[in-house]
Each structure stands twice: as C-alpha cells, then as structure tokens.
Amino acid sequence: MVNHMKTTIEIADALLAEARRAAEAQGVTLRALVEEALRRVLRERRGREFRLRRASFKGSGLNPQVREGSWERISELIYEGRGG
C-alpha cells in the first residue's frame, strides 16, 4: 500500500500554469506530472557524486625542510621573502 501525504508548496504562477497545460496535454493529472518530475530530478541527482580531480604533482614528496616541520614552520617557508 502506498501512503500519500498532503502538502502545500509555493510555485510561481507562470510555472504552475505551464505545468497544468502540460499535464492536460499529456492526459495526466498535475499531481502525476509533479511526482514524475520529482522522481526524475531525485534520480539524476543521486548519480552526481562529487569527484575530486587528480591534482598531484610529480616529485619526491615534501621538501626536507618541512617533512618533520610544524605548521608554523611551513607557514614561515611559504611567506619567506614576501613580507609575511
């Protein structure tokens, strides 16, 4: 058994009018059209996972000066000679 919940949402007048016309033209209820649209959007968004692009650099790892250093030392090296 499918449960339904009544709810109220605010939709721009022009969008609602367009949705009503589309539902009528397709021979479906406004409710069916809205449910279909929501299902489609939710399905599409589920597939969109954020993937961090590979942005590593070639080299031999950390500079020996910071390999065992603190954040303060790293900060000093970053701003060295830049007035920081």
Q: What is the pLDDT of residue 40?
A: 92
Q: How confident is the model at residue 72 (pLDDT cuts 50, 70, 90)?
A: confident
Residue 6 in domain = no
pLDDT tens column, 28-65: 999 999 999 999 998 888 877 777 888 777 777 777 77
- DSSP 3-state helix, strand, coil percentages of the chain (rounded to 5)? 50, 0, 50
Domain count, the chain: 1
Residue 17 in domain = yes
- What does the mean pLDDT of the chain come to? 86
Which tokens belong to 52?
């961090």
Q: What is the pLDDT of residue 1?
A: 66
Rounded CA separation 54/52 (Å): 6
pTM here? 0.53
Give the domain range for residue 18.
13-46
Q: What are phi and psi of 69, to 5 degrees?
A: -85, 165
Residue 19 in domain = yes
Residue 37 in domain = yes
